Amino acid sequence: MNLNTPQKISLAFYIFLLIFWVALFFTNTTEGFYNYFYSFLFGLIPLIAGIVAIFSAKRWGGVKTAIGKAVFFVGLGILFWGAGEMIWSYYNFFLGVPAPYPSVADLGFAPSIFFYGLGAFYLSKVTGAKYGLRSKTAKVFVTIAPFAILAASYYLLVVVARGGVLVPEGETPLKIVLDIAYPLGDFLSLAVAVIISGLSFQYMGGRHTGDIVAILLGLGVMFLGDTAFSYATTVGTYYNANWGDLLLTTGTFLLSLGVLGFYKLKEVEV
């Protein structure tokens, strides 16, 4: 996978964030300025990459082509996510709220899943449209998987984390809806993208195989990160720059790395 300039910058910044996170972890720093600063910094990768991707989509035909739609919507999704993280940081630094959830920040986080999921859908149609959802196994999986994940999320976030009480005293119904909606949305985006693509990444002679895999891996890591975040905020163990935030850092980085791979048009235009 040959990285272009925006991808190299993104990778270098991600490595810096990993070093920053390790320093916080081994110094047992769980609150205060540096934790807030980490949250702010890791939101910059998807924010900037999203802007770059939206402009890059024009080179691929914009919303007139499947690949143009893929780049545009993945870019729009991570841009919304980065914007949500900026609002989160505003709560941290200026309002003194360490974990503003639910809050106005969710106006950025919530739509992001829909947009980058839609982008992954269009990308998967380009990479493996000949497979689609033709097989019975794929159709059964798409039908059953959402209910299985919903049941697993309910068990973890309600039965385990809340002691079987759907809406405990002091917690809003909105929180539990978001707790389940975030990881479920990530999982559905990943599942549909993988199934429709048929795991076929021969688009443009395989030139963007690494970029496509990065996006799919990003969706998977976001699922884990959102699940960890929902659980930690429920049981009261969340803090900025915890393990869940490291997963979200990695997930948004992978999505950014993948979509930035389409920064330049390479020979074949769709």
Whether 195 maps to a domain, the answer reads: yes
DSSP 84-104: HHHHHHHHHHHS--S---SST
Whether 160 maps to a domain, the answer reads: yes
Number of domains in the chain: 1
**Residue 79's pLDDT is what?**
98
**Residue 163's pLDDT is what?**
60
Residues lower than pLDDT 50 in the chain: 129-133, 199-201, 203-205, 267-270
Whether 270 maps to a domain, the answer reads: no
**Residue 53's pLDDT is what?**
97
Secondary structure (3-state) at 51:
helix
Q: Could you give the CA distance from residue 145 to residue 183 in angstroms, rounded to a whole number?
A: 13
| Residue entry with tokens 């910059």 | 44
Calculate the average pLDDT of the chain: 84
Whole-model pTM?
A: 0.86
Domain of residue 36, residue span: 5-260
**Residue 241's pLDDT is what?**
97
Whether 157 maps to a domain, the answer reads: yes
Whether 203 maps to a domain, the answer reads: yes
Q: Could you give the CA distance from residue 86 to residue 36 in angstroms, rounded to a whole number?
A: 11
Whether 236 maps to a domain, the answer reads: yes
Query: Which pair of tokens denotes residue 253?
Result: 């980085």
Number of Cβ within 10 Å of residue 2's Cβ equals 7
Whether 265 maps to a domain, the answer reads: no
